[in-house]
């Protein structure tokens, strides 16, 4: 999409944007980002090649939105430059939107640790517009807002599950049932991690749950029961019990949704304090995901409460 200069001058820009790509021009690969900026009411103040991004942005007095199309950038260049761009964006509180290929998830996740950012995997024009809307806090894109509200609602239901079970147990404990009271008293114990628990849940148990969820998709149809947040929490909990590392790309696969959707959920769960991302100390091109102490505690208590009530952990 090309907008002529006369039309551009009629636009009252609401924000400035910088486009970063391999060649530092509005190439066909980056045209989606430039057009999305225009449609969102912004203006592109400069373009720059990937290796010069930090210097170019440092010379801009305003706080621009930074759009990076890294799909043609080598892993070596990503490893060299992305962390510096991340640090600059964090220091100036700039929002980043980074477009990548599916094979660049790990090197990108390893380089973006501090800034406010969104990662788009092979984005469509609509993905660019939606990401800009989120970064700028716009509310005039109704379709994107509905999607965000739906995702937020599902995350809220997930986070509320432990509280709901705790409430059930609290009500049961008010009844004069000694056996039930004994069970309730034991629920606070960490069955999942403490040896000697009566029926501690194992990594194999969690993997069986994951397999059952994928089997459901196989026979009923893909995309009908998407629940990436819970799928990823199960995967990370099993990995914790196995003492295994999980890369960002591996976690995206476990989510069983499109990579951009999985990356969005990883960001949401990280912001919610359930996930944390740690750099690989031996390879700067990779980062590992894990449950936080809060996330682990939630999973342990959920599994213990479900078992105490004779409910399946699903």
Structure-token match 């029926």, residue found: 199
Distances from the Cα of 243 to the Cα of 15, 197, 280, 288, angstroms? 46, 19, 15, 12
Grouping H, G, I as helix, E, B as strand and the rest as coil, residue 67 is strand
Per-residue model confidence (pLDDT) at position 308: 87
> What is the C-alpha to C-alpha distance for residues 73 and 280, in angstroms, rounded to an integer?
21
First to last CA, the chain: 47
The structure tokens listed for 304 are 């213990």
Per-residue model confidence (pLDDT) at position 95: 94
Question: DSSP state, 132?
Answer: H
C-beta separation of 94 from 115 below 8 A: yes
> What is the C-alpha to C-alpha distance for residues 148 and 90, in angstroms, rounded to an integer?
24
Distances from the Cα of 226 to the Cα of 19, 26, 41, angstroms? 33, 36, 33
The structure tokens listed for 284 are 């700067």
Q: 53: Cβ–Cβ under 8 A, 6 or more apart, which residues?
A: 18, 20, 66, 68, 81, 85
Per-residue model confidence (pLDDT) at position 27: 54
Per-residue model confidence (pLDDT) at position 226: 87
Per-residue model confidence (pLDDT) at position 167: 56
One pLDDT digit (tens) per residue for the chain, 314 residues: 444 444 444 445 688 999 998 876 665 444 588 888 888 888 999 999 988 889 889 888 888 999 999 999 999 999 888 999 999 999 999 999 999 999 999 999 999 999 999 999 999 888 999 899 888 875 444 334 444 445 555 555 555 554 555 555 455 544 444 443 343 344 444 444 444 345 688 999 999 999 998 888 888 887 788 899 999 999 999 999 999 999 999 999 999 999 999 999 999 999 999 999 999 988 888 999 999 999 999 999 999 998 888 888 88
- Sketch out the chain's domains with CATH numbers: 5-140 (3.40.50.2300), 150-308 (1.10.10.10)
Grouping H, G, I as helix, E, B as strand and the rest as coil, residue 234 is helix
* Pick from 132, 235, 66: nearest CA to 248: 235
HSE-up of residue 143 (Cα within 13 Å, Cβ side): 5
Per-residue model confidence (pLDDT) at position 108: 94
Per-residue model confidence (pLDDT) at position 186: 42
């Amino acid at each position: 999409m090309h907008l002529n200069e006369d039309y551009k001058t009629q636009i009252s820009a609401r924000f400035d944007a910088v486009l970063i790509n391999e060649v530092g021009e509005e190439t066909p690969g980056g045209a989606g980002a430039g057009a999305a900026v225009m449609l969102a009411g912004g203006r592109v103040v400069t373009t720059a090649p990937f290796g010069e991004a930090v210097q170019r942005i440092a010379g801009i007095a305003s706080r621009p939105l930074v759009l990076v199309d890294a799909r043609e950038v080598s892993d070596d260049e990503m490893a060299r430059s992305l962390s510096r761009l991340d640090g600059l964006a964090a220091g100036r509180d700039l929002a980043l939107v980074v477009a990548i290929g599916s094979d660049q998830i790990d090197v990108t996740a390893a380089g973006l640790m501090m800034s406010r950012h969104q990662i788009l995997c092979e984005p469509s024009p609509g993905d660019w517009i939606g990401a800009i809307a989120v970064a700028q806090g716009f509310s005039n894109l109704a379709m994107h807002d509905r999607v965000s509200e739906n995702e937020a609602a599902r995350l809220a239901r997930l986070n509320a599950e432990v509280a709901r079970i705790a409430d059930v147990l609290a009500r049961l404990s008010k009844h004069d049932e000694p056996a039930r009271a004994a069970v309730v008293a034991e629920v606070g114990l960490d069955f999942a991690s403490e040896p000697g628990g009566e029926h501690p849940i194992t990594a194999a148990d969690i993997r069986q749950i994951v397999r059952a969820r994928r089997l459901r998709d196989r026979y009923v149809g893909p995309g009908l029961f998407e629940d990436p947040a819970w799928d990823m929490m199960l995967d990370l909990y099993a990995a914790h019990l196995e003492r295994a590392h999980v890369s960002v790309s591996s976690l995206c696969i476990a989510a069983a949704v499109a990579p951009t959707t999985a990356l969005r959920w990883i960001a949401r769960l990280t912001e919610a304090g359930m996930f944390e991302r740690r750099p690989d100390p031996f390879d700067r091109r990779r980062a590992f995901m894990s449950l936080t102490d809060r996330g682990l505690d939630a999973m342990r208590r959920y599994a213990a409460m479900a078992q105490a009530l004779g409910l399946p952990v699903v």
